[in-house]
Structure 1
Amino acid sequence: MQKFRKPESTNVAMTERRNWGNIFKCLVQMVRDQQNQLQSFASRHNFLEDRLRMQHEGWISDVRFHKDQISQKKRSLEDAKADLALGLKHREAAILKWILEHTEDELGDFKEWFEILSRKSSVREDQGTKSKDTGKKKKGTTDKENKPIWNTAEKDKCSCHEFSLLKSEYDKLSLEKYSEVSELLAEKKFVWNQYKIMENDYTAKLKTKEAEVEKANEKIKVLVSGMEQLRSENYEKDSKICELESKIAEMEAETKSLNKEISGLSVELESLRKLQNNNVTPVLNHCSDGNKASGLGIKSIKSRSMIVQKEIRTPEQPAAKSSERGKRSMKRKEPPVIPIVTPKLFSSSFKVPKLKSSAKVRNDR
């Protein structure tokens, strides 16, 4: 019976070793998987950081470029406004100077014409006085009286003709000046309209650029919020990685402790096997010799073997209990305490039976 029990115990030990080996392999595989996951998380984290950094730098450069363009457009618009205002002022000044010059010329012409008319009127008055004097002195002759009247009428006609000519010339000059002034005013209106159109175009461009800048700012805000979210996610991932690393360290410590416990248990099992083998083998040899010597003591030997089996089974029960407690303690992470019990083959009340001699046995037969 004991010979059949030895392989069972060895099988149990082998199965336990296999189980612990499988558990250790599973733990090692879990640790490796977690390490691979951590490495993949770290690589993804670095990739996302680099990508977001590149995008942020690109957006910053675009914003700076757009701001520079807007500032250049504003400067060019201000310069164009200033140039246009200066041109308009210069043109107005030139027009006013030209008008002043022509008005001065016209005033000079009017003054000369007025002097000429005053001279002519004075000459006519002198001639009229002379004609009156001559008429008083020479009343007898009609021919002498008719000649100065004819001369004065001709002179009046000539002066009226000259006045009409001067008036027509003045009208022509005024019409020319009016046409020139109207042309200048039309040019001024055209330039002003062009200036307004340019101003509207520049304002529309500025509005579009401002809208683009606002969109870029919104995109930058979205990117910044995304960066913050990614940073928070990275922080959470880092915390998870730290937790996993701590768990891995704990699991490694547990595996080390389990390996130590397994080695201790294997040593204890080997010691128990050695003790059981050393204590059981001589009794079995003695019993086999007694059976060969005498065929009559079979009942006593059977009774002895039964007693030995009972006594051997009794110490195996606490060993089994201790093994169960050891397994529970392994689960609770406590070193198992297995008491080393030496198996008692014979009790204190056991008495060796007296065997009959071989001659008496032959006579009985």
Structure 2
Amino acid sequence: MDVTMDVTTNRYTGTQVLKYTNNSPDTLTRVFYHLYYNAFQPGSMMDVRSRTIADPDRRVADRIAKLTPEEIGYLYPSALKMNGKPVDFQIVETILEVDLTEPILPNSSATFEMEFEGQVPLQIRRSGRDSEEGVRYSMSQWYPKMANYDEQGWHANPYIGREFYGIFGDYDVKITIDKSYVLGGTGYLQNPNEIGHGYEDAGAKVTAPSGNTLTWHFKAPKVHDFMWGADPKYKHDKVEMSNGITVHHFYIPGEKTTENWEKLKEFTPKAIDYMSKQFGQYPYKQFSVVQGGDGGMEYAMSTLITGERSLGSLVGVMVHELAHSWFHGVLATNESLYPWMDEGFTSYATNLTMANIFQANENPHRGSYGGYYRLAK
């Protein structure tokens, strides 16, 4: 993907080339993409549901209904080709329905080329701009994302604020944005000595190009998502572990953040090391903890978490989102159908890790059992 962000209008344009391989025994005559940002519009399914169900997410409530045209989110493909030929498509709120010009046979591939435009919504749920903590961009679920096809068929469910189920792929992403912004998230930066901002090699002279923008080039192998956070105020700290893994932290310095984020640099490597010994080696050479979003959420090689927390809360959320890397990240089960296979194992791993690296606890799962007992009663 090649994307250009306008930080004045909060709009972006992009192109995407996707090689899709049909690993199923079925012949596919249609494909579907997720267009998540279209949920952040008054009258969307997510908006109506949040205003009418008995137990709405308080972070959403009626906030979508109150968005102005400049505050809504949208993601609109403008052109799509399959193997060089235009295809017909229809936007149905958060889903793009595509009728293929030719079927994709089992064990064969097709190449899709797309042009798209988007607007980043005011931060309401997970993704968005200008969060309560002042983070400019929390860019998750921001691009047209091919839906997953498995033994149950296509999983092209409308987005209402739930979990995500994606396809593994190798991502090659270029993001052009105002040169004052610092980016962090999924992927290995390919041009660190051109970008700088704390990514440059030790002793290297940063040779930034002229102009008002920088083009950040990331590659992320064998992932099923791609997230990035961006803010001109981010402080970027980099920790090199002895096993070759690089840990990145991105946060906005201040009275509510600096002291605990400085301490966090000790605990993130410890958590990676402990969980690698307990649950198998962490599969990537990088992990990024990025201030942003509206709580804590796991993404490929990274997490978005709110940063104005006590040390215990900051470490606990980091550990929990990191633990997802072994379950949501590697096993990549359908969380909507089998939540215990991700959140269940992740909570178990979190309890053990916190008891090992942060505060000893003879019964680390007591809280989890307590939650179950309260629910059962």
TM-score bin (small chain): under 0.3
Q: TM-score, normalised by structure 1?
A: 0.15
Q: TM-score, normalised by structure 2?
A: 0.15
Q: Which structure's residues are more often strand, by fraction?
A: 2
